[in-house]
Chain A
Amino acid sequence: MDNEKEKMTSVQNEQKEEQYSLSDDRRVKVLSPGALVAKRFFRNRLAVTGMIILLLMFVFSYIGGIITPYAQDQKFYRTDVQAKDYAGVLHNEEFRYTVGNSDLFKSSTHAQALKAIIEGSKSFDYDGYSYTLDEIDKDIYTITCNGEIVGIASKELVNSSTIEPCSFQFTYDAFKARAEKKTSFTSEGVNYNLGADGVITTEDGTEKAYISEYIVKAVMSDVFFTREFKNELIEAVEAGDESFTYTGEDGVTAEYILKYDAATKAWDVKQEIDTKVFDTYSSPSKAHWLGTDRNGMDMLTRLMYGGRISLMIGFIVVFIEAILGVIMGGISGYFGGWIDGLIMRIVDVFYCIPSMPIIIILGAAMDAANLPSLTRMIYLMLILGFLGWAGIARLVRGQILSLREQEFMTATEACGISVPRRIFKHLIPNVIPQLIVYMTMGLGETIILEATLSFLGLGVRFPFASWGNIINDVNDTFVLTNYWFIWIPAGILLLVTVLAFNIVGDGLRDAFDPKMKR
């Protein structure tokens, strides 16, 4: 293959040699300096790889952001089954007291009554009164004093089905009706029906109360249970089930979990219902290739927009640095003398200012001032640019110091070209190669610096994404341990991008260097 090519070219050369005369300029293949640099650059495989990586990174960040179906700050939800405390069931195994006359049936009297019930005696004396016990049904006793029924001791209870509690008289009448196995009774002038399951309804069919050993109470005050639900619940409790499902009147089926708490002798009933929550830290899936972050936003999309911000900040900062540096360095190098001395001392001062601590302090100050995210980002770029120009100024000055002594500068002077034109049209272009190399390397550095600041929470802020503040989540040890997809992709992108900038910068330096062998 190569041999063929060589043959081809040699044939072509021969043809050309035939066509052009010896003195013809076209016989010599002339490449512009730019073309030579490009040729040398593209021969460096590592640098070309870096270039391709950078191109991919730009495509990923800028075009990816357009292609992705999600927006930068679009939040995703998922339905999650959450067990919420729903009800409590208490199985009553002790005597409970319903008080009719609180003067004659005080809580101290309750204990005496209980004692009498256990002993099986029919009466007891307490506090100067004598009480009589009557068992009207199994485990239901009435306590009478001075011919008045002052209280009821019972294991079963008459539970009101409405908000209004049952009156004493009603309770007594209900117990009595059941003991006498009646299907209806009258209490306080109202007729009630008594069902076999202990449910008491008014004549129009609405439920008034029910008699049961179980007390079912809702955790939320606005929830009322239907009879059917209560029956199912109690059935499940009696059967010792751990869960049951119930379809309510509105057709919603929910799963209920029963848990017996030995300490309070009660069952906690939890309702498992579907709740809409932010889809936080979900693992990579088809919909979200890199999962979602802390706020339920698509990670891949965040990475794309983060790339835009990181690259943009890098370019703007380096641009500011370059403008300041070229102006200061150019003036300093061209004029020399006391101007040079003054500017170089300023450069020294800026060189000495510890930039990282200063930026951290300013970041904390911006926190205190509660700046909006966008303003903050602009300030950040300005500060980074303003603190970083000293290096470029030194570089430009050094180059210009040596260039201005060369003949072409004498020629420009002789031609009467104005000073700014001489500096910016004839000197600066000769510094451009070094400047490009420096800026390329500086881009990588700036991106790392910005990422570090954002990582510390002092740089780019939510809702903007930057690779640094995406990794910021790793400060949470739980994320570090469990959710690799939150921070490792961002870190790799950051590393690869900065590496590519450095490799390209290196390649450019070699390509610009005419002494290079290759």
Chain B
Amino acid sequence: MRKYIVKRLLQSIVILFFVAFIIYALMRCLPTSYVETIARQKSMAPGSKSYEEWMEQLTALYNLDGSIISGYFHWLGSMLRGDFGDSWKWTVPVLTKFNDTVWLSFVMGLISFILEILIAIPLGIIAATKQYSKTDYTISVIALAGISLPTFFFASLLKLVFSVKLGWFDLYGLVGRNYDQLSTFGQLMDKGNHLILPIITLVVVSMGGLMRYTRTNMLEVLNADYIRTARAKGLSERKVIYHHAFRNTLIPIVTIIGSSLPGLFSGALITETLFGIPGIGFASYYSMIAGDIPFSMFFLVFSAMLTLLGNLIADILYAVVDPRVRIA
């Protein structure tokens, strides 16, 4: 088992190395408009150096001279030392901005993830136990509708109904207008209030997948021989489903839940941007639009790392949770 994990870890590192290289090469190939803009701005200042001099200094500062490969190794070296540079857009060190934003995204993601689990798994099981019934069709259509619903359209609908027509929530932002006058508890409540619509969006858009996954797996388990045996034994249907079948369904579900956990740190790019929630998705979106290479690079590599971590967790959990799986 340990050998397997070590092997997978090493493999992941190699993959990450190449992913980072592709991302770096891509970023380097972009028109370096941001550096040029900054250089132009700085050269405009009275008594400043000329545009060319600024350009030279900035490219040297950001290691944009030299070839892509040498630049990549330079970047990799400083990254390994924990130095991701300063964000151009936010004018603070990348890690500071990351630390400022990631926790908000994580909390938002975690709450919606828990809600998603609480809604999707029971519904998926109900749909499977009543296969081909009206309930099953309804749940299946709801799940498919959730998958098919474009995030931005659903978010706009929510805004129209709850913010514009009913006036319950603000259209944008994490804090209300009178945030500074509120008590600590009031401030927390205010933030919570502003997170309701984004969380609803996230839950509705993402629960469909888990619901269908649960249903499919539950169906597979219900067709297994040991369920027939349990029924033949004369166990009550309740016991068969919630005791025998459910536990076996949990194996793939726990695996997929475990592998989704790292993803909670990558934020919700579209939702955060639409609702103006200053999380990591929001920050990275505006960094990417502005051509902020240090922050975008960091975010992209970070996302790739989370994906790899998710896969790794899935593989390990698969072996750990299911006693039938043995890894040589």
**Chain A residues near B (Cβ < 8 Å):** 46, 345, 348-349, 351-354, 356-358, 360-362, 364-365, 368-369, 444, 448, 451-452, 455-456, 468, 471, 474, 477, 480-481, 484, 487-488, 491, 494-495, 498-499, 501-503, 506, 518
Contact = CB atoms under 8 A, between A and B. Distances in A.
Q: Is the interface of B mostly helix, strand, loop or mixed?
A: helix
Contacts of B246: none
A477 B307 CA distance: 35
B22 A368 contact: no
A314 to B, nearest CB: 13
Interface stretch (B43-51, B107-115, B141-149, B189-197): B141-149
Interface stretch (B11-19, B73-81, B226-234, B248-256): B11-19
B31 A487 contact: no
Identify the interface centre among A348, A352, A365: most chain B CB within 10 Å of its CB.
Answer: A352
B4 interface: no
A5 to B, nearest CB: 24
Given A364-B288, A365-B291, A369-B31, 16 more contacts: A46-B140, A46-B141, A357-B269, A360-B269, A361-B26, A361-B296, A448-B150, A451-B152, A474-B152, A480-B159, A480-B160, A488-B157, A498-B148, A498-B150, A499-B148, A501-B148
A175 B304 CA distance: 91
B160 A353 contact: no
Contacts of A365: 30-31, 291
Nearest to A481: B164
Interface of B: 11, 14-16, 18-19, 22-23, 26-27, 30-31, 33, 132, 137, 140-141, 144-145, 147-153, 156-157, 159-160, 164, 171, 266, 269-270, 273, 284-285, 288-289, 291, 296, 299-300, 303-304, 307-308
A368 B32 CA distance: 10
Contacts of A495: 145, 148-150, 153
Nearest to A369: B31
Identify the interface centre among B145, B285, B288, B307: most chain A CB within 10 Å of its CB.
Answer: B288
Given A471-B156, A495-B149, A354 B307 contact: yes
Given A352-B19, A471-B156, A503-B144, A361 B304 contact: no
B159 A471 contact: no
A495 to B, nearest CB: 6
A308 B137 CA distance: 30
A357 B299 contact: yes
Contacts of A444: 147-148
B151 A452 contact: yes
A502 B16 contact: no
Contacts of A456: 270, 273
A518 B148 CA distance: 26
Contact of B16 (A352, A364, A448, A488): A352
A484 B156 CA distance: 11
A490 B148 CA distance: 14
A361 B30 contact: yes
B307 A452 contact: no
A361 B288 contact: yes
Contacts of A357: 269, 284, 288, 296, 299-300, 303
Nearest to B31: A368
Contacts of B23: 353, 358
A136 to B, nearest CB: 64
11 contacts: A348-B11, A353-B304, A356-B269, A360-B288, A364-B289, A455-B152, A474-B152, A487-B153, A491-B150, A491-B153, A506-B144
Nearest to B21: A349
B148 to A, nearest CB: 4
Given A349-B18, A495-B149, A477 B171 contact: yes
Which 8 A-B pairs have CB atoms at the shortest separation, nearest pair first? A491-B153, A498-B148, A354-B303, A499-B148, A352-B304, A365-B30, A455-B152, A502-B144
